[in-house]
Structure 1
């Protein structure tokens, strides 16, 4: 982070905040994080991804049942498209989706 490099090279926190357009308290927080956890503590952390409702095998079965089918020949009372897909997934795998 350029802000922390500038501070490491002697820039005052208030000056760094003004130049980099970052709040003073944010910089102080970064300094504290780095002091307690090292540079790795400042790494960007992605939020955990949701667990997929269908596993890879189920997705493969679903793709196999859909690819190459003509939507005009669907037998759904709810019509073709997302609603039919949700109905198929519920019937085949017991997993409910909102179309």
Structure 2
């Protein structure tokens, strides 16, 4: 894709999320990380989705590093849970593929 030109549809197809991409995303396993909700988008063949992980404070950096090492990186936001100065954990939300708004 040349810079300065509007992307063509065929260029954007290469960036689409597949069912396998989503499966790799939601199957991430770490101690202290639990996927608590996942909503796929696209029937019958999902091409996106959104969800939330609950992450313990000591697992957050390793978990975010794992997300950044994926071929396709979802839109992610992190929300702390607890009353400062004690953080009990984090909600890590994501949007991927066709569900991504950010």
TM class, shorter-length: under 0.3
Higher relative contact order (CA 8 A, sep 6+): 2
Q: As a proportion of its length, which structure holds more strand? A: 2
Larger Rg: 1
Under a length normalisation based on structure 2, what TM-score does the superposition of the two structures give?
0.26
Q: As a proportion of its length, which structure holds more helix? A: 1
Under a length normalisation based on structure 1, what TM-score does the superposition of the two structures give?
0.26
